[in-house]
Amino acid sequence: MQHVGDQHAEGTEQAGHRRQDDLRHLQLARKLDGMHRPGAAERQIDEVARIVAALDGHEPHRLRHQGIGDRAHAARRLHDADAERIGGLPALFESFTRQAGLDYEVSLETRGGTGLDFHLENKRAAIARRWDTVVAHGYSTLDADKPRDAAKLVATGKALADVLRAENPNVVLFLMATWSRADQVYPPEGAWAGRPIAAMANDIRAAYEQAASGAGALVIPVGEAWNRAILTGVADANPYDGIEADKLDLWTYDHYHASTYGYYLEALVVFGRVTGRDPRSLGRNECSAFELGPSAAQAQALQQIAFDELAASGSVASNLAPRSDANPQRCGGR
């Protein structure tokens, strides 16, 4: 499974700066037998447009193996198509699949501060391979130069699909609709200033539906899962006025990128949409949450949000097959 990303640096964003809270990056995964155990995930704080793709079984060694590591043992081995050592969402995705008894080999190809156009222009060799499944997203405001304009996303989504299908006509392409950025909603200079926090994610989803229609792709509703977490009281709506008691802050300090909670929710939604598995089946003592810091109750609440959002669109049905939650442990101990 491959994840490709393009972005432009913005505001206080620093390309290459590592931060524990930033888990969002792209992944590639190939179903195969006898995979490595979950290990560690590395985080980088810059916006990443992603593609997650699964390598065809006939090409098992086309991606370079990279160990991605920090204290959160979300996945021990990732394949980095560009050898840029970026992890996060891919690591969590792989950890979830291992815990679910699925065999995925996860790799990644990313570039901070860019959009899909960058990858199509500069990373085509990493993209144009025989993938089974791809998950991608573009820039968080749709277009770094023209926020709220979906034209570039629609055009690059179609171009990406054409590149992928030239290698494998049966590739499954997912486009991941991202979340509302508090820094684009609450400050007066934001592109969505003066509108409700849910509006940005809803607009992003509409743009991704348009892009998916032209690309023959499916949409992953990450932004709407964030909306649901806020609407149901699991998460706080406005980090600028303080975080209400017993609510989660889905954003990190810049009110742009996700916190650990936000990226954990993102990964749960991607996991459920791509695999068709009920995110709640991971259990409240799921090992990645145990290592990253969310409590068992918080992990369970976020798993419920992910399931409810996917079930609302018919993307996943209840199939708990509950795990034993008696003894939480590090992922490496499984």
Q: Which domains does the chain have, with CATH numbers?
A: 28-222 (3.40.50)
Q: How far apart are CA 33 and CA 299, in angstroms?
A: 29
pTM of the model: 0.80
At residue 83, the pLDDT reads 45
**φ/ψ (deg, to 5) at 82:** -110, 0
Q: pLDDT digit string (tens) for 223-252?
A: 999 999 999 999 999 999 999 999 999 999
At residue 325, the pLDDT reads 60
Greatest pairwise CA separation for the chain in angstroms: 53
Q: pLDDT digit string (tens) for 82-137?
A: 544 445 788 899 899 999 999 877 777 777 777 899 899 998 988 898 888 888 99
Query: Under 8 Å CB-to-CB from 312, ≥6 apart: which residues?
Result: none
The alpha-helical segments, DSSP class H, found in the chain are 89-99, 116-122, 124-127, 151-167, 197-215, 222-231, 260-275, 287-292, 296-312
At residue 31, the pLDDT reads 32
Query: What is the percentage of the chain residues whose pLDDT exceeds 70?
Result: 71
